[in-house]
Structure 1
Amino acid sequence: MSESITKEDLHEFGTMLLHNLHKAMKNSVAEQKKEDQPEWLKSKTVRKLMDMSPGSIQNLRITGRVRFKKVMGSYYYNRSDLLALFSTNT
C-alpha cells in the first residue's frame, strides 16, 4: 500500500518543524541569558529593569547603597548589590 503525501501534509509538517525550532531556540536563548548575565549593568538597563527614574538611580549611587563604576561617562551598577537591595526592601 503506497501513501501519497499532499501539499497540506507538507505544509503541516513545515509548520510543526518551524514551531519546534522556534521553541528550541527560545529555550536555548533563555538558558544562555541566565549564564551570560553581566556582573555590571549600565544605568539605562537598570532604570528599565527596575522601572526607576534617573534621579532614583543617582540617589542610590550618591548614598552609597549600590556599588558603581564610571567608564567614559557611563555609570555601571553592580547586579548583586541591586538584587540584594531590592530583595530586602520588598
Structure 2
Amino acid sequence: MPTSIITTDDLREFKLELIEELKALISKTPTQQTRKYLKSAEVMELLQISPGTLQNLRINGTLPYSKIGGIILYDAEEIQRILNENRIDNSF
C-alpha cells in the first residue's frame, strides 16, 4: 500500500472545501418547517402548559382541536392566531 504525505496546505485546502460544501447544504435546507397539525405533547411543550391546562383549554373552547381515533390534533396556525389575538402589549 503506497504511503502519501499530507501537508498542512492539504489540510487547509480540505477544510475550505468542506466549509463550502456545508454552506451549500445549509443554504438548500428550508428553515424550521412547522407542521400543519401538532399532537397534545407538542402543544404542551410549545405553550409550556400541563396536561390539565391543555384539557381545560379544549373544554372551554379556547383551543380548537380535531380528534381522529384516540389522537387529538391541533392546527398550528390556529394556535398562533389565538396567541396573537390574546397578546397584551404594555408599551405606553
Identity of aligned residues (%): 27
- Root-mean-square deviation over aligned CA pairs: 2.2
Q: Quote the Cα distance in structure 1 between the aligned partners of 2:42 and 2:29.
A: 19
Figure out how many residues of one structure are paired with residues of the other and give that number: 82
Q: Give unmatched runs, 5+ long, in structure 1.
A: 1-5
C-alpha contact (below 8 Å) 1:66/1:78 kept by paired residues: no
Higher helix share: 1
Q: Give unmatched runs, 5+ long, in structure 2.
A: 1-5, 88-92
Indicate the residue corresponding to 1:82 in structure 2: 79
Indicate the residue corresponding to 1:28 in structure 2: 28
Q: Assess, with a 3 A threshold, how the Cα gap between structure 1 residues 28 and 67 changes in structure 2: closer, same or farther.
A: farther
C-alpha contact (below 8 Å) 1:47/1:54 kept by paired residues: yes
Q: Given the two structures, how large is their TM-score scaled by the length of structure 1?
A: 0.68
Q: Quote the Cα distance in structure 1 between the aligned partners of 2:22 and 2:55.
A: 40
Q: Post-superposition shift, 1:76? A: 0.7
Q: Quote the Cα distance in structure 2 between the aligned partners of 1:10 and 1:20.
A: 16
Q: Assess, with a 3 A threshold, how the Cα gap between structure 1 residues 29 and 86 changes in structure 2: closer, same or farther.
A: same
**Correspondence 1:57 to 2:54:** yes
**Correspondence 1:9 to 2:5:** no
Q: Assess, with a 3 A threshold, how the Cα gap between structure 1 residues 56 and 16 changes in structure 2: closer, same or farther.
A: farther
Structure 1 runs of 4+ aligned residues shifted over 4 Å read none
